Chains A and B, each alone.
Chain A
């Protein structure tokens, strides 16, 4: 490398900052991995995990969202089970229908049950959109939760 025209005198300082940041990052990660989820939320059932696998195998996230995260071609499914006028039968009837952009899938009754179970358990974790969230003057939004 060519001679350095403007040497950075603070090599030790830079190393110290990066060491501190990395240490902080490690501690932060441990806290997130252990405590990101409120303790009161139950773990998912085996059936729901099977439903989640089916959701992933068919790449539903390309079009659908959960908590507003995912593709925008289809509707958000966070509370599709508890929403007025929707629910289990509504979801099941859509799964193999092939309406509009949605591919015509061939889910068995058992698979449909598993997907519904997965969406039911997602539904129990919270709300999206969170219509009853409290908006504070400092820009913060306190979301309404289903668990204390």
Chain B
């Protein structure tokens, strides 16, 4: 059944490269509005990009969890049939989502633009995953390390918030615009928090394995940060919508809860110093290098997240590219780096000759990816500042179209750095997929 876990990861890597390619095409449309306008205008291109990269994160995290349960934690999966069904359901859903976009049969809700009926099989997939996960781990592993808690929480909350994101189908929510809007963004905020549980759980697991030291996954500190993260997942979402006129207590609470993340920020800053002074053997480990870069992006992104969670600052950044900066920094710099570290770990364990053979290429890709991402985020920061000035500090604001034209030069940097990200990802992911994961599925 290792094969199916690896097929999840193979599909994920394919999604990563395809999703990044859609991202570049969408970037071209920012500069050349007529590009592919007749066949795939931006209102279709963006969902292709967003859904495919979300697919990458979820499939890779899922495949990794199934794989680690069997290969590293030495459990016997409760049901291999459920695993197969889960994989088939997700493959069918992926095809259905693409057909939905290509034919324009949209659900049209941000991040979940596909035809709403596809929600049902996706939900079934999550339930199958949950049953298999808990039936396997509860019986066979006593005294769970924190990553098992994180994965379990991630699965349960993903299922819940994914359902919640579709409450708009119920008239009680839909008839009340602000309620519907609030619940929509509540579910998205917590949905992202849930997949972060899956990804960060993977990060803790990898760190424990790479260092050969389980203490990072146990003890009071590990659990304190897990519970703090969960607390934020549950209650912190409203910092995304301070400006939406919901009842004030929801926003007050989100402000207070979000500020608790400063504790996480300072702790990461302290630990990162320790990581940099690790011994040479660790520094040469490819997975470890990706994890160290992740910590760098966590610091930057968490700092930005904390700043824009202060309503005073959020007032000026909300509705600008600075929000995109934060989400791109998180999904590429943090989630993607952790998941690539996970794929490298798996390939390295099973076929160390492959990671050795492609080490130079993967390292080149690592630097291309990280440098391009830095430039990419700077272009978004610059665009965000310009947009904010246009919104709040222009006495006689120029029309929207003129403001967009004014951003053209920054958009070229945005596009070129996006191309750099795609190149870096190709350097890293392609050999891992072709020479590592795919051959492993045939063993």
Q: What string of 1s and 0s marks CB contacts (under 8 Å) between A9-40 and chain B?
A: 01100100110010011001000110111100
Q: Which residues of A contact B312 (CB under 8 A)?
A: 135-136, 139-141
* A32 and B223 alpha carbons, distance in the complex (Å): 28
Q: What string of 1s and 0s marks CB contacts (under 8 Å) between B78-109 and chain A?
A: 00000000000000000000000000001111
Contact of B178 among A8, A36, A72, A139 (CB under 8 A): A36
* A131 and B243 alpha carbons, distance in the complex (Å): 11
Question: Chain B at the A interface: mostly helix, strand, loop or mixed?
Answer: helix
The answer to whether A8 touches B223 (Cβ under 8 A) is yes
The answer to whether B245 touches A125 (Cβ under 8 A) is yes
Query: Closest Cβ of chain B: how far from A67's Cβ, in Å?
Result: 5
Contacting A at CB under 8 A, from B150-195, are: 153, 167, 173-179, 181-183, 185-186
Among B11-19, B234-242, B266-274, B422-430, the stretch that binds chain A is B234-242
Contact of A141 among B186, B215, B315, B387 (CB under 8 A): B315
Q: Is B262 an interface residue (CB 8 A)?
A: no
Q: Is A69 an interface residue (CB 8 A)?
A: yes
The answer to whether A139 touches B227 (Cβ under 8 A) is no
The answer to whether B42 touches A49 (Cβ under 8 A) is no
* A102 and B178 alpha carbons, distance in the complex (Å): 27
The answer to whether A4 touches B214 (Cβ under 8 A) is yes
Q: Which residues of B contact A18 (CB under 8 A)?
A: 149, 153, 227, 230
The answer to whether A21 touches B215 (Cβ under 8 A) is no
* A100 and B34 alpha carbons, distance in the complex (Å): 7
Given contacts A1-B140, A32-B250, contact A6 B223 (CB under 8 A): no
Query: Closest Cβ of chain A: how far from B321's Cβ, in Å?
Result: 6
Q: What string of 1s and 0s marks CB contacts (under 8 Å) between A103-141 and chain B?
A: 100000000000000000110011011110101100111
Q: Is A56 an interface residue (CB 8 A)?
A: yes
Query: Closest Cβ of chain B: how far from A53's Cβ, in Å?
Result: 8
Q: Is A70 an interface residue (CB 8 A)?
A: yes
The answer to whether B311 touches A1 (Cβ under 8 A) is no
Contacting A at CB under 8 A, from B370-426, are: 387, 391-392, 400-401, 404
Chain B contact-residue range equals 35 or more
The answer to whether B214 touches A5 (Cβ under 8 A) is yes
* A18 and B153 alpha carbons, distance in the complex (Å): 10
The answer to whether A140 touches B311 (Cβ under 8 A) is yes
* A120 and B314 alpha carbons, distance in the complex (Å): 26
* A49 and B417 alpha carbons, distance in the complex (Å): 41
Given contacts A6-B214, A43-B175, A103-B37, contact A62 B311 (CB under 8 A): no
Nearest B residue to A76 by beta-carbon distance?
B319
Q: Which residues of B contact A52 (CB under 8 A)?
A: 174
Contact of B318 among A25, A37, A63, A68 (CB under 8 A): A68
Q: Which residues of A contact B387 (CB under 8 A)?
A: 72
* A65 and B323 alpha carbons, distance in the complex (Å): 13
Q: Which residues of A contact B367 (CB under 8 A)?
A: none
Q: What string of 1s and 0s marks CB contacts (under 8 Å) between B207-235 and chain A?
A: 00000001100111001000100110011
Given contacts A68-B319, A141-B312, contact A7 B218 (CB under 8 A): yes
The answer to whether B42 touches A71 (Cβ under 8 A) is yes
Q: Is B2 an interface residue (CB 8 A)?
A: no
Q: Which residues of B contact A139 (CB under 8 A)?
A: 255, 310-313
Q: Is B71 an interface residue (CB 8 A)?
A: no
Q: Is A60 an interface residue (CB 8 A)?
A: yes
Contacting B at CB under 8 A, from A79-103, are: 100-103
Contacting A at CB under 8 A, from B8-67, are: 29-30, 33, 37, 41-44, 46-47
Q: Which residues of B contact A131 (CB under 8 A)?
A: 392
Contact of B74 among A1, A76, A143 (CB under 8 A): A1
The answer to whether A8 touches B43 (Cβ under 8 A) is no
The answer to whether B108 touches A60 (Cβ under 8 A) is yes
Nearest B residue to A75 by beta-carbon distance?
B400
The answer to whether B108 touches A58 (Cβ under 8 A) is yes
Given contacts A6-B219, A68-B319, A73-B42, contact A141 B311 (CB under 8 A): yes
Query: Closest Cβ of chain A: how far from B205's Cβ, in Å?
Result: 12
Query: Closest Cβ of chain A: how far from B88's Cβ, in Å?
Result: 28
* A60 and B106 alpha carbons, distance in the complex (Å): 10
Nearest B residue to A43 by beta-carbon distance?
B175
The answer to whether B108 touches A32 (Cβ under 8 A) is no
* A70 and B310 alpha carbons, distance in the complex (Å): 21
The answer to whether A37 touches B319 (Cβ under 8 A) is no
> Which 7 residue pairs across A and B have the least CB separation, nearest first?
A68-B319, A56-B108, A37-B179, A101-B33, A126-B245, A75-B400, A62-B43
Q: Identify 19 new A-B residue pairs, CB closer than 8 A, beyond the known A8-B143, A55-B108, A73-B29.
A: A5-B214, A6-B214, A21-B234, A32-B182, A35-B247, A36-B247, A56-B108, A58-B108, A59-B43, A59-B108, A67-B241, A67-B319, A101-B29, A125-B245, A139-B255, A139-B310, A140-B311, A143-B242, A147-B245
